[in-house]
Amino acid sequence: MKSSLDDMLVFAVVVETESFTKAADELGLGRSRVSQIITRLEERLGVRLLNRTTRSLSLTDHGIRYYQQCRLIQDIANEAHNEISDAVANPSGLIRIATPIGMDFLAGLLSGFLAQYPDVRVELLESDRYSNLVENRADLAIRVGHLADSSLHAFKLGAFRDILCASKSYAARYDLAGSPENLAKMKWVSHVDVHGDKSICLKNQAGKEVRINHQAYVGVRSVHSLKQFLLSDVGFGLIPSFCIKSELDEGTLVELLPDHHCIDVPVYAVFPERNLMPHATRVLLDYMKENSFTF
């Protein structure tokens, strides 16, 4: 019959304390229980491990060899415990994050996280196409708008405004007169993966929608390209507020028809079952919750 690892560790403590009573105190067991464990261990092995007198304990030859193995097991157990404890206190390893292109605010947030946890590495998988966490081997994803995948867990990081805008000089060429339909006179630069290239959907805070059939003049697949076309006076577009904050403040880009299009788009951190994720990823999620995003 195999010996219990717990019994072997009890034996090691008895040897090191040289006393059933002291071993019982250290282990939080009764003295009689410790004595029973050692007796059971000897019966299973078929040898005597300890010489007992009323005043002292001493190891037999078999006991010396057996203690050496028990000590080795105890050292391995302590090493494993210390390694996990250290990993919990000092997260490490690679975190892969799937994110849309242009989420520049992430750099500031992640820089603060990496400064606090220097043993963690981060890889951003930047794409404006929908990314499957499993297929892309991502630990978590940043997603915007409606969440369709119910198999994943998520929490809201914040929201940004979706803004209809153009350069100040381009907008000055046209008189919208507060009418969304007049956008058809202007050239549309579309982020096609988000807004398509056949019609523009405007929505105000009251939820009223206006759809305008209009062929995109330029189609792009990143907010960076979209912004550059707008700044180059090519046309108008729908673009996240966090991409153009400084340009709006400076007046190089101006908002169009704010009464007809002004919506908040939620931003989420999306991840698989939390209990199955690496410790570093769990720490990052907690960090995200504690540090608000500025869009």
Taking residues 127-140, what's their average pLDDT? 74
Is position 277 within any domain?
Answer: yes
User: Which of the pair, 199 or 293, is modelled with greater confidence?
Assistant: 199
Residue 205 sits in a domain whose CATH number is 3.40.190.290
Residue 106 sits in a domain whose CATH number is 3.40.190.10
Q: Are residues 52 and 103 in the same domain?
A: no
What does the pLDDT look like over 142-194, one tens digit per residue? 888 877 766 678 888 888 899 999 999 999 999 887 889 999 999 999 999 88
pLDDT higher than 60, residue 1: no
Q: Are residues 21 and 58 in the same domain?
A: yes
Q: Are residues 141 and 276 in the same domain?
A: yes
Confidence of residue 123 (pLDDT cuts 50, 70, 90): very high
The model carries a pTM of 0.64
Q: Are residues 24 and 68 in the same domain?
A: yes
What does the pLDDT look like over 280-289, one tens digit per residue? 998 999 999 8
Structural domain total, the chain? 3
Residue 43 sits in a domain whose CATH number is 1.10.10.10
Taking residues 95-108, what's their average pLDDT? 86
Give the count of alpha carbons within 13 A of 246, CB side only. 4
Q: Are residues 109 and 13 in the same domain?
A: no
DSSP state of 69: H
Is position 260 within any domain?
Answer: yes
Q: Are residues 280 and 143 in the same domain?
A: yes
Q: Are residues 144 and 271 in the same domain?
A: yes
- Provide the residue range defining the domain that includes 190: 159-265
Q: With pLDDT > 70 as the criterion, what percentage of the chain qualifies? A: 91
- Contact between residue 97 and residue 140 where contact means Cβ atoms under 8 Å apart: yes
Is position 295 within any domain?
Answer: no
Residue 229's pLDDT is what? 97
